[in-house]
Amino acid sequence: MEIKDKMTKAINKQINAELYSSYLYLGMSAYFKKNNLSGFSQWMRIQSNEEQAHAMKFFNYVLERGGEVLLEDIKAPNENWKTPLEVFEAVYKHEVKVTTLINELLKLARQENDTATESMLKWFIDEQVEEEANAKEILDKLRLIKDSVNGLFMLDHELGERK
C-alpha cells in the first residue's frame, strides 16, 4: 500500500529536521575543533553522521512506500556557543525536540491507520531514548566538572574514544 500524502509531507519535514540535526552537530564539531577539544569534535562529527543516516532511513522509507521526497532548505544553526556546557545544553534540548517530532509522527501514523509507518517509527523512538540519555550524561558530567580544566580534558579524551 502506498503511503498517504499527509504522512509523506510529515516525513519529508522530518527528513529536513534530521538533516538540520546533522548540520547542527557538524557546526558543534567545528566549534570544538577550533577550541582544541578534538575528542568533543570527534564525538560531534560521529553524531552528525548518525543524524545523516537517520535522514536517509526516512528518505528511503518514503521512496519504498511510493511517496515523493521533497527536500527543503536546511536552516543554518546557531554557532555562538561560549562553553562546552552551553553546547551540550543545546544538544540535550535539541534531542528532546527531536523526540517530540518523532512522537508527533507516531501520533499521525496512528490517526492515519498507517501501521507500516508506525512499525518503522519504533526504531526511531528507541533511538531517541538513547540519544537523550547520551546527551544528558555528557551534560551532567560537564555540570560536575564546572571549571576544572583537568576534568574537561579527561572528558575530551573519553569522548574521543567514540568510534
pLDDT in tens, 6-61: 999 999 999 999 999 999 999 999 999 999 999 999 999 999 999 999 999 999 99
Q: Are 62 and 12 in contact (CB under 8 A)?
A: yes
Q: All domains of the chain, ordered by start, with CATH? A: 5-160 (1.20.1260.10)
Q: Are 96 and 26 in contact (CB under 8 A)?
A: no
Task: Say if pTM beats, i.e. exceeds, 0.85.
Answer: yes
Q: What is the pLDDT of residues 51-99, one digit of tens each?
A: 999 999 999 999 999 999 999 999 999 888 999 999 999 999 999 999 9
Distance CA 61, CA 53 (A): 12
Distances (CA, A) of 145 to 40, 141, 148, 154: 15, 6, 5, 10
SS percent in the chain: helix, strand, coil, step 5: 80, 0, 20
Half-sphere exposure of 141 (CA within 13 A, CB side): 20
